[in-house]
């Protein structure tokens, strides 16, 4: 395992020519967009046929040693120059030269020998995916998202997870200015080593070309996208150049399986520079793999549309440009002239009516496929929600004309739930009969395009919904009856309690009246006895006096 020595602070601050051409600040603080690739990487040692022949003629151990020296130089290790100046601090220029030497050796001596036997590929993975970050990064991954196929788990999963910000809300269109330093972002390897690793990947793309594709296209693209959020200007510049080189190197059919999932995953990053770079790479894919991008428009358009509302102006602007680029890959000539207006309406809802007006003048002749529907349906659905009824009429006419030439029911099936409910609302709620008729006509044509399977599914869904509602009614009736029974039981208990209290009260009153009667009788008896006693005493006194 190679050990990269981190240069001194003063040496680390020194920037080479390649570092100066990184993305800078444009007018108003906006990110300046590069018009072309960075200058080609050139080797420092393997510059002549004689030097290459000398390396080939050496013993295998010597070849490995020299290649590993190139690798050390590319990763930022200090280089021995001569006895008078024993060490030369690493710079972006020296790292670029070392990376070009590694790529030249791979081209001349074979990718398997240089990348595998000399340990170059393992060292790149160690630098870009440090082992210490495995568990932390994997815990942040999203198991529900599509993962690109054909990648090494040790690389692809880590890089995907490292870009994943908060998957709970997959499409939150909010970026933060910065997550802090690279260390706070989980980057534990030296900056020079990460920059050198990216330079090697770019050199392999430019110098070796297509034979290097199986080794570097995939996980390393995820790593390069992630490094676009670095707080180092030189690393960001190299990372952007590397992503461009990887996209240009990749075969067109790598887009659906590898590039598209990686780029869409990077749109979930909280770093706005990562999202900005991913959007620009998607725009580049529209020119390198137009057919494959066109096939995936139903998946790409919603993901990119979410970025149009990003709080960062650079991301929002890049999303609009990318949306236009991918939509222009559509093969339907009938709507080609209206695509700019439709894309503008997607980004700016106030332009919806203008876009629908342009579509009103479209004569549909070519069969309408799923990519074309994915472009038109969001705008048409929004037009059906407009306040003015005349705008709803225009949308109904376009939907009616478009539905007649839908290619297959499966092409329009994903957009049925988007359009059918809105058409039903227009047909039911709009005041004007003419517009209601247009809505019913559009609904009829769209239902025919959706096919019998959709109608059967709708009927089945209706039956299921009715059954569910009946079940809910039964449950509600049962609940009400249970409440009534409980109330009746409670009232019965209250009545019993009141009757018992009345009985006890009556008994108490009867007992009290009996006591009062006895007391009165006792009082009367005592009074009579007292009167008899006084009468007797009176008679006794009279007889004594004569």
Question: Is the CB of residue 248 less than 8 Å from the CB of residue 288?
Answer: yes
Q: How far is CA 165 from the centre of its chain?
A: 9
Within a domain: 68: yes
Domain that holds residue 141: 1-19+36-250
Q: What is the b/e burial string over 408-445, where b = at least 16 CB atoms within 10 angstroms of the residue's CB?
A: eeebbbebbeebbebbeebbeebeeeebbebbbbbbeb
Within a domain: 4: yes
Mean pLDDT over 43-48 rounds to 90
Within a domain: 356: no
> Given this model, what pLDDT does residue 414 score?
87
Q: pLDDT higher for 73 or 22?
A: 73
> Given this model, what pLDDT does residue 175 score?
53
Within a domain: 150: yes
Within a domain: 462: no
> Given this model, what pLDDT does residue 272 score?
93
Within a domain: 312: no
> Given this model, what pLDDT does residue 546 score?
55
Residue among 308, 324, 307, 320 at smallest CA distance from 267: 307
CA dist 66 and 55 (Å) reads 8
Query: Would residue 119 be called left, alpha or beta, if left means φ above 0 and alpha means ψ between -120 and 50 degrees?
Result: left
Per-residue pLDDT reduced to its tens digit, 126-154: 888 875 443 333 344 444 445 554 444 33
Residue among 38, 35, 36, 34 at smallest CA distance from 18: 38
Question: Is the CB of residue 373 less than 8 Å from the CB of residue 398?
Answer: no
> Given this model, what pLDDT does residue 453 score?
57
**What band does 283 get if pLDDT is binned at 50, 70 and 90?**
very high
Rounded to the nearest 10 degrees, what angle do helices 219-227 and 272-288 cross at?
130
Within a domain: 423: no
Question: Is the CB of residue 352 less than 8 Å from the CB of residue 384?
Answer: no
Within a domain: 141: yes
Task: Kindly give, in sequence order, each residue whose CB lies less than 8 Å from that of residue 533, ignoring residues fewer than 6 positions away.
Answer: none
CA dist 447 and 454 (Å) reads 8
Looking at the 3D structure of the chain, how many domains does it have?
1
């Amino acid at each position: 395992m190679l050990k990269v020595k981190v240069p001194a602070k003063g040496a680390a601050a020194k920037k080479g020519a390649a570092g100066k051409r990184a993305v800078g600040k444009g007018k108003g603080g906006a990110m300046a967009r590069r018009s072309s690739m960075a200058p080609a990487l050139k080797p420092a040692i393997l510059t002549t046929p004689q030097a290459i022949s000398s390396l080939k003629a050496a013993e295998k151990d010597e070849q490995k040693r020299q290649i590993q020296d190139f690798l050390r130089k590319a990763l930022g290790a200090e280089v021995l120059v001569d006895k008078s100046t024993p060490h030369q601090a690493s710079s972006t220029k020296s790292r670029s030269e070392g990376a070009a030497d590694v790529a030249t050796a791979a081209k001349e001596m074979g990718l398997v020998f240089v990348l595998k036997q000399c340990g170059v590929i393992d060292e790149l993975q160690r630098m870009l995916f440090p082992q210490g970050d495995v568990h932390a990064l994997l815990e942040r991954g999203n198991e529900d998202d599509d993962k690109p196929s054909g990648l090494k788990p040790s690389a692809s999963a880590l890089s995907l997870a490292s870009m994943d910000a908060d998957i709970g809300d997959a499409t939150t269109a909010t970026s933060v200015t910065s997550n802090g330093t690279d260390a706070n972002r989980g980057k534990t390897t030296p900056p020079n080593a990460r920059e050198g690793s990216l330079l090697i990947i770019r050199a392999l793309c430019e110098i070796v070309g297509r034979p290097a594709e199986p080794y570097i296209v995939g996980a390393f693209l995820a790593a390069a996208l992630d490094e676009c959020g670095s707080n180092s200007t030189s690393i960001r510049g190299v990372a952007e150049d590397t992503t461009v080189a990887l996209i240009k190197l990749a075969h067109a059919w790598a887009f659906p399986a590898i590039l598209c999932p990686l780029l869409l995953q990077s749109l979930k990053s909280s770093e706005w520079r990562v999202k900005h770079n991913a959007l620009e790479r998607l725009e580049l894919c529209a020119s390198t793999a137009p057919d494959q991008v066109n096939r995936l428009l139903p998946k790409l358009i919603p993901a990119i549309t979410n970025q149009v509302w990003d709080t960062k102006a650079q991301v929002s602007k890049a999303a609009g440009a990318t949306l236009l680029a991918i939509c222009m890959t559509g093969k339907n000539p009938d709507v080609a002239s209206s695509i700019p207006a439709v894309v503008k309406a997607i980004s700016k809802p106030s332009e919806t009516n203008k876009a629908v007006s342009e579509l009103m003048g479209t004569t549909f002749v070519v069969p309408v496929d799923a990519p074309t529907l994915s472009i038109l349906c969001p705008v048409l659905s929004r037009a059906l929600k407009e306040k003015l009824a005349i705008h709803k009429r225009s949308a109904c006419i376009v939907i009616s004309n478009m539905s007649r030439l839908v290619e297959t029911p499966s092409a329009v099936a994903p957009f049925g739930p988007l359009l059918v409910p809105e058409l039903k609302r227009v047909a039911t709620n709009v005041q004007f009969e003419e517009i209601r008729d247009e809505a019913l006509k559009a609904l009829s044509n769209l239902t025919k395009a959706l096919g019998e399977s959709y109608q059967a599914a709708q009927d089945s869904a209706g039956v299921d919904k009715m059954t569910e509602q009946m079940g809910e009614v039964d449950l509600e009736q049962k609940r009400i009856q249970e409440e009534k029974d409980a109330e009746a039981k409670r009232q019965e208990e209250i009545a019993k309690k009141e009757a018992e209290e009345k009985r006890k009260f009556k008994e108490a009153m009867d007992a009290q009246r009996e006591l009062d009667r006895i007391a009165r009788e006792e009082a009367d008896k005592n009074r009579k006895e007292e009167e008899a006693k006084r009468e007797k005493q009176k008679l006794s006194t009279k007889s004594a006096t004569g």
